[in-house]
Structure 1
């Protein structure tokens, strides 16, 4: 059996395949599934899936492999899983453009993908060291929790930021529609300058403690990497939350976007197209951007306020990050004081910075 050292993101993909979070995947994509996802937003059997999940290896190792080969996937000296090789292929820069709508190295998802090897191996994976999945988020557990709470309808919310007033607005809409709200922040790899897992989870725990009805909200982190793939990743996030037992999923403005690579509602457009083409198995709530209107004196959207062009105060994770990085206190229009103070209390607020001195 061949042996190959894997990184943390690859390990997490294997774990999420094993637990069913990435259903219907049973392993890393082979060439046929990969090309179908890139071209048609679905696997080769027609099942909707919008982002490639692939295993990259160095060229020398790639050349040794044949169909039927087995690979022991090694993490920190332990065999975490095995991969049964079905095929191997190479990806191109053209593929990256189709996935990300850009090949610009300034795009963090593109840069991360370019740093990987272009040589990919597809095949079934199997966890052999069960300690790797003992505490992993999984659909069996989340569905058990939802049943215990007697929730029949559950709205999922994806985030990589602490809660601010715009996201609070969206979540309260979800709570009006559904029995329960599942807040499921990304806790895997994110780009430098994003909020740390500690900051995000601390903010949400404080929000639930002080403001939300505790019996109607469940918080758990999702260990997977951000890809910043905009529209494709928005639907990918919906598929994951469907697998975790959600009946509804919120897609907001520039979901999973970064910089100016995607238009504000590109994710809405793609989601609507795929809803017509496939059975997604989850109802999408395509919600417009909440902002503070100085004229209306409250959080609104352009669907219920006529002052977008004249009185809008934008609220976003990017703006909140800029305030906190400069040591400023965001106006309560944007962020509750209790949440701001909770963020300041953590050891490290941003990824890539030194621990905050208390």
Structure 2
């Protein structure tokens, strides 16, 4: 699900009406979207790319004031950048046609407002630093235009990725409907940033057990699958490996819903984790498991972590607009070399546990080594290994680089 297909869910524009609007859009000034522009989703109540007032509220207050004077959490700005050339052309145009990265006319932005894109302010407020080397900044913000354009979005065509995973791109409304069908009296979500292993399954199964002990009859878990956007890497295998966790019986398909969460990854620490939590509320979740280091990263120029590991959980417990979400503690899981399985870490027998980081897990897969038995289900591990094998094949057939003075 993408930003554009999310808005289509709310519009349900008849095909005959879409044909008229498509013809109208052909005559408009065109603005071309980049890939990340169509990856936003689950952003209700935002009705399009933000105008300046919404942008400033999001950037400085991490929330939006609604027409009834209530507040909704919105910690990341959803904006569309313009080059100076397009900005000049858009001066007398109230509406702009939106073109997808592959050239298709996919939407209209109505009653547009153009305003200055102060990149340094945006970066400092979102990441708390302007140090060089922040992945999202270098990939998206630095090369972006110096102007932002906001307006009300009308969608002409839903975005289809045609990658075999569209069936898992469920909208918030579709997810709520699915939770009602189960029926689930509690929905808990866990933010993942690595391929799913048995420790994640242990944590989710234990959370279900704890909710049952609290009196809930049928808690269900949402397994969100970020297709993470990082500089030079994109782990597209995550959805498949997570599905293998279901197929191998580590998670119960009757109480687990697999859905892809559409959002570009910023690695903006406490600021971004509010966005991750807020959109889970839109999708029906009322319990949220805060991981050990969600949305965190190493400092790009210094040998330290960029954000305090405890601040994400503390911020979520205080953030305006997230009062409906119950924050669940994260229990650290590690590999128990005695029991030969993933288990919750027991400090009294610390020597019996081995921590296998995401980096070490990828190194195993890249080198064709197997992790300890019981670390990950065989189906999920095979997907990871095949992914790295495919990368090695691609690298082997790449022609040599030719340099000239």
| TM-score (ref. length: structure 1) | 0.84
Matched ranges for 1:85-164 at <5 A: 85-112=112-139, 113-130=141-158, 136-164=169-197
Per-residue CA deviations over 1:6-56 (Å, capped at 9, x if unaligned) read 11221233xx3xxxx111111111222222222221124432111111100
Q: CA deviation at 1:262?
A: 1.8
| TM-score (ref. length: structure 2) | 0.75
Residue 170 (structure 1) aligned to one of 191, 198, 203: 203
Per-residue CA deviations over 1:46-85 (Å, capped at 9, x if unaligned) read 3211111110011111233348711100123321011120
Q: Per the alignment, do residues 50 and 349 of structure 1 end up closer, same or farther by CA in structure 2, a change over 3 Å counting? A: farther
2: distance between equivalents of 1:163 and 1:290?
13
Per-residue CA deviations over 1:87-118 (Å, capped at 9, x if unaligned) read 42222313312211222332212222223223
Contact in 1 for aligned 2:29/2:93 (Cα 8 Å):
no
2: distance between equivalents of 1:317 and 1:148?
35
Contact in 1 for aligned 2:316/2:322 (Cα 8 Å):
no
1: distance between equivalents of 2:368 and 2:85?
49
Q: Per the alignment, do residues 72 and 202 of structure 1 end up closer, same or farther by CA in structure 2, a change over 3 Å counting? A: same
Tell me which moved more, 119-128 or 282-291: 282-291
1:61 has 2:99 as partner: no
Q: Per the alignment, do residues 184 and 339 of structure 1 end up closer, same or farther by CA in structure 2, a change over 3 Å counting? A: same
Q: Per the alignment, do residues 251 and 325 of structure 1 end up closer, same or farther by CA in structure 2, a change over 3 Å counting? A: same
Tell me which residue corresponds to 2:368.
Answer: 327
Matched ranges for 1:1-358 at <5 A: 1-13=28-40, 16=41, 21-45=42-66, 46-66=71-91, 69-75=94-100, 76-84=102-110, 85-112=112-139, 113-130=141-158, 136-176=169-209, 177=211, 179-187=219-227, 189-194=229-234, 196-197=235-236, 199-211=237-249, 212-259=251-298, 260-274=305-319, 277-292=320-335, 299-301=343-345, 305-306=347-348, 313-332=354-373, 334-346=375-387, 354=394
1: distance between equivalents of 2:379 and 2:390?
16
3-state SS in 2 of match to 1:218 = strand
1: distance between equivalents of 2:315 and 2:245?
32
Larger-Rg structure: 2
2: distance between equivalents of 1:188 and 1:283?
25
Q: Per the alignment, do residues 193 and 68 of structure 1 end up closer, same or farther by CA in structure 2, a change over 3 Å counting? A: closer
Q: CA deviation at 1:354?
A: 3.0
Contact in 2 for aligned 1:155/1:247 (Cα 8 Å):
yes
Per-residue CA deviations over 1:253-282 (Å, capped at 9, x if unaligned) read 1101222222222211211221xx434432
Q: Per the alignment, do residues 49 and 231 of structure 1 end up closer, same or farther by CA in structure 2, a change over 3 Å counting? A: same
3-state SS in 1 of match to 2:116 = strand
2: distance between equivalents of 1:82 and 1:295?
60
Tell me which moved more, 104-113 or 73-82: 104-113
2: distance between equivalents of 1:185 and 1:223?
8
Tell me which moved more, 231-240 or 50-59: 231-240
